Structure 1
């Protein structure tokens, strides 16, 4: 086994040790689901950053950047703009202080909105967890020559166990470490590779100028197709809302968002730059070389750069740090996206409809069982997609079209009605599922995955507006919770609970 394997094993052992230690502090569902609502700003920044920078960024985004160039950042920019908008909602979300996004949906609409919202989140998030498993399989195959399918199973086992031990408490505790590792590794690697390959002379003479054009040779419809999935996903991202609920107060939530957007812009730009530079070198090598990377394997470029970093100017220590960063990205995102749907099933289905009088220990046990079952479902979903990028676009669209319009309307449009919100969720989810199923059964996709957000979100928003305007306005008590401030809001929420 290589030194890369042993360093990764040591890093994972450290993360698991923290999770087991934190599990001793779990006393009730508030500890497990929202870390006792006591998370400080630095920890909140770390966990928000690590959750967002998953395999979608490390593998799918980097692979797209390797192929199309800096125009890949349209995919990342959707999240950047979304985070800025979230800045103005973070405080209000924390004041409402629920456990899940479906809590908000029922508060504003009705129980059917809660149920449909839960289904949307479970489908989308288990898909996202699935490609974290695949990312782990890539890593173990690269550093230890473990067959990819075995690596997927080992990754799944680790992420499931880690999440089940201590829930949100473990996640926020390790993510400040993971965030530091990711930031340092990427920011060190980019200048090393840039200057080793020849600096600006290499960029201007060896690279295709199209790699640095604003659209990468694509149409503006393509730009919208890659921008809106992350934009709409971010605005409806249940992990984000659940972590706002974990903040110790409203100020911590808003401050965390400000630092989160800065960190995300810097790291995603650095990852895209590293992918372009490294791929230009490894792709140009003789195909018989072990270091050659074909275009169809471009999603592995960051891992490849870590493993064979000495070839492009990254010393062994830098390569080890970059591999640890990849592991941090995969595990932290897998943990968060596994915890959220398990929370939804526990809070929004079991506790709400099946066993409302369940005790704290029963609730925590049930959620741990859900973590296991959803982890198995995520593994099964891996067989339904050709690439990680396809999985990412489908999951992003499921949330962005199925959840975000109704969720944002709850905070921003008093005229939205219960019928409009429920119809919007059902439409966005249904259209996304239909297109995904039709794409999977045909030899060629009916609609390419990087365009499915356009019909799905377009129809969801249209239905939201039209149905709301055609139905009577909801009574004031349905929407006033989302607009009242401070003491009035506290009184209203206490009355609701």
Structure 2
């Protein structure tokens, strides 16, 4: 256990050193919010990868894979489909070169769209940040079960994230992600074959699980697969954190090249995460992790690389037959045992670091909205860089505390993730994509679309008891998305087209 504590301590100190190392380079609003628009492609790849793959994949996706097998990849597949489309959006986003998505909404539509966009982003991003705190708290509890409860662990994780995010803004987030992305990718790709070998080989893993774990749809219906696929795809297409990274790119070429690396890294890493969880479901079908399957990856890091238990039949002193269970250390060198334990500790550390990284990204992004889209836009347009930096850090602290409060009332990470994804998917992604690709979309339609998508998603659980059974058993994504798209299309066709001035920044005039 001391090894696990040591690895987590070293990772935390490294992240703090990276943040402090960027602090002296933050002088202006652009430095804090978009890293001075200086990020090269290699840094962009890992900060995009780290911001996307967090507790939604490491906890929610892994929980899904533990219960249902490889059909859990429908959730990840939505992201992959979105990434293919993003390849064509990235250069346009960098050319636009603002600070936030509400900047884009006001430029293309109007001020009302900006304000409603801020509300939708705050609801989505603080919800996503909240379950990063849950994941970090679970890991700390697993490592220190007698000292740190899961709830206390959430407080500790929140303190780490708020501190790291507030220090140096986007530059801090991006360069921390470079370290975290490398650590997580290498560690997980090494851990999977070792774990499969440790479990007796893939044929043993396969035989231990139901056949449905290895089928395309598994025990899901096609509609349930779409309910996993669509929110993930649409969140990725409109993700403000992603656009903010593109705004931070050194050039349009760097933005597009980064997407290629992001696609490759995401497909590999999310497939490995699901495979690890499926392997874990064969190795640990019962016990604590069966009741809390979102912890399966961390549980693997803690127990999956220990010597396998072996049962030996012996005669007791009275002549009765007894079974004795011990760890199979015969033929395994002390050095090999240490390497196995180190790999487990690094896996645990990589998951912990990824959660911190994702929380940093999703907490930093809405803080920039409150600063850039409310404080500077409406309250203090003449604010100095020093005042903006102070308010930015204050917003990080306040939103971090709000996210922590939300985490205390959340039980299912997967359910919380799909709720957050749906708000953004229905409220913002349609109007964001229309800004780049549909010149007929109007300001009134965008306002109606954002408001409708947000309201339907937030109120869906309250409406379910009053709806027909066929609708009540569905998640919010289909009704919210259909309502949002109808508002966008119908209102656009019945209102005045946008001006050339509105279209010009998006290359459409």
Q: TM-score range by the shorter chain?
A: over 0.9
Q: Which runs of 4+ in 1 moved over 3 A?
A: 311-314, 436-440
The Cα offsets for residues 302-349 of structure 1, whole Å up to 9 and x where unpaired, read as 000001122477811110110111112101101011110000000001
Where 1:451 maps in the other structure, the secondary structure is: coil
Indicate the structure (1 or 2) with the bigger Cα radius of gyration: 2
Please list every run of 5 or more consecutive structure 1 residues that lacks an aligned counterpart in the other structure: 490-497
Distance across 1 between alignment mates of 2:20 and 2:63: 35
Contact kept, 8 Å, 1:38 with 1:246, in 2: the verdict is: yes
The corresponding residue for 1:495 is none
- CA positional deviation for 1:7: 1.6
Match of 2:209 among 207, 210, 215: 207
Number of the residue aligned with 2:362: 337
Does residue 107 in structure 1 map to residue 131 in structure 2?
no
Q: How does 1:150-189 map to 2 (within 5 A)?
A: 150-189=152-191
SS in 1 for 2:411: coil
Partner of 2:305, secondary structure, is helix
Q: Please state how far the C-alpha of 1:254 moved relative to its aligned partner.
A: 0.1
Q: CA deviation at 1:477?
A: 1.9
- The structure whose residues are more often helix, as a share, is 1
Q: Is the 8 A contact 1:86 1:235 kept in 2?
A: yes
Q: From the superposition, tell whether residues 426 and 156 of structure 1 become closer, same or farther in structure 2 (CA, over 3 Å).
A: same
**Equivalent residues in 2 for 1:122-133 (5 A)?**
122-133=122-133
Spell out the pairing of 1:408-419 with structure 2 (5 A cutoff): 408-419=433-444
What aligned pairs does 1:316-331 form with structure 2 within 5 A after superposition? 316-331=341-356
Correspondent of 1:396 among 410, 414, 421: 421
Aligned to 2:58: 58
Q: Is residue 205–residue 282 contact of structure 2 (8 Å, CA) maintained in 1?
A: no
Partners in 2 of 1:3 and 1:432 — Cα distance?
A: 44
Measured in 1, the distance between the counterparts of 2:121 and 2:472 equals 23
5 Å-filtered alignment, 1:221-300, equals 221-284=223-286, 287=287, 292-294=288-290, 296-300=291-295
Counterpart check, 1:470 vs 2:465:
no
Matches of 1:272 and 1:338 in 2, distance apart?
26
Deviation at 1:438, TM superposition (A): 5.8
TM-score by structure 2 length? 0.90
Unmatched runs of 5 consecutive residues or more in structure 2: 309-338
How far apart in 2 are the matches of 1:312 and 1:451?
Answer: 43
Residue 366 of structure 1 corresponds to 391
TM-align CA RMSD: 2.0
Change (3 A) 1:19 1:437: farther
CA distance in 1, matches of 2:207, 2:505: 59
2:472 and 2:140 mapped to 1: Cα distance?
33
Paired position in structure 2 for 1:356:
381
| 3-12 vs 162-171, greater mean Cα deviation | 3-12
Partner of 2:117: 117
Q: Is the 8 A contact 1:2 1:144 kept in 2?
A: no
Q: Which residue matches 1:452?
A: 476
More moved, 469-478 vs 89-98: 469-478
Q: Tell me, in whole angstroms, the C-alpha distance in 2 between the residues paired with 1:475 and 1:355.
A: 29
Q: Which residue of 2 aligns with 1:309?
A: 304
CA 344–439 in structure 1, closer or farther in 2 if over 3 Å, else same:
farther
The answer to whether the Cα contact below 8 Å between 1:72 and 1:272 also exists between their aligned partners in 2 is yes
Q: Which residue of 2 aligns with 1:143?
A: 143
**Is the 1:2–1:143 Cα contact (8 Å) retained in structure 2?**
no
Are 2:38 and 2:249, in contact at CA under 8 Å, matched by a contact in 1?
yes
Aligned residues: 475
State the alpha-carbon separation in 2 of the partners of residues 437 and 85 from structure 1. 34
What SS class does the counterpart of residue 247 from structure 2 fall into?
A: helix
Q: Shift in Å at residue 481 of structure 1?
A: 2.0
Alignment of 1:69-108 (within 5 A): 69-108=69-108
Contact 1:236 1:403 (C-alpha < 8 Å) held by counterparts: yes
What TM-score do you get using the length of structure 1 for normalisation?
0.92
CA distance in 2, matches of 1:38, 1:447: 48
**Cα displacement (A) at 1:382:** 1.8
For 2:166 and 2:46, locate their aligned partners in 1 and report how far apart those are by CA, in whole Å.
20
How far, CA to CA, are the matches of 1:97 and 1:4 in structure 2?
42
Q: Deviations over 1:16-61 (max 9, x none)?
A: 1211221111101100000000001110001000000110010110
SS of equivalent to 1:310? coil
Change (3 A) 1:462 1:25: same
Contact persistence 2:61–2:274 (CA under 8 A): yes
| Per-residue deviation, 1:361 | 0.5
Is 1:483 the counterpart of 2:496? The answer is no
Listed one character per residue, the Cα deviations across residues 106-144 of structure 1 (whole Å, up to 9, x for unaligned) are 000000000000111111100111011111100110011
